[in-house]
Homo-oligomer: A and B are copies of this chain.
């Protein structure tokens, strides 16, 4: 896979993803794929993969995708729909794809699968931090969404 410097540096310091065995297995501009095997210490009290760790796998893919353009970018919000349970030993793959960018914001869709089965659908909103040295990516006024 093509290695993007900003993403590689970020992943090298990501202790949380390392501890969970989350690997970045593919990446590109505005996209990323991560993989995690569900360990016994990732199960919840119903013997299913803890929803928070499925979210974490998706969130790491999202972080790699939204930082692929260079500037430091953080999550401002995310939502997840749990489609089917995952069990110990399952290999989960999360694929993040840019949906749209506007101002400093970005919207990414992440699908978590076990083989061909969808396990969860995640959507995250990112916020690019300013960097006056590099030139602010959004010099003008914020582009508002419609007032409610």
Contacts and interface: CB of A to CB of B under 8 A. Distances in A.
Interface of A: 9-19, 40-60, 62-63, 66-67, 72-86, 99-100, 102, 107, 109, 111, 118-121, 123-127, 129-130, 141-148
A81 B56 contact: no
Contact of A55 (B18, B47, B55): B55
B107 A63 contact: no
A141 to B, nearest CB: 6
Copies of this protein, total: 4
Contacts of A75: 51, 82, 145-148
Given A77-B77, A125-B77, A9 B146 contact: no
Contact of A48 (B48, B52, B54, B146): B146
26 contacts: A11-B45, A12-B45, A13-B47, A14-B44, A15-B40, A15-B43, A18-B41, A48-B147, A50-B56, A50-B146, A51-B148, A52-B58, A55-B55, A74-B82, A74-B145, A76-B144, A81-B125, A82-B144, A82-B146, A86-B146, A100-B118, A107-B121, A109-B109, A127-B145, A129-B142, A130-B142
A78 B121 contact: no
For the residues of A in contact with B, the DSSP-based class is: mixed
A89 to B, nearest CB: 14
A66 B134 CA distance: 34
Q: Which of A10, A119, A145: most chain B CB closer than 10 A?
A: A145
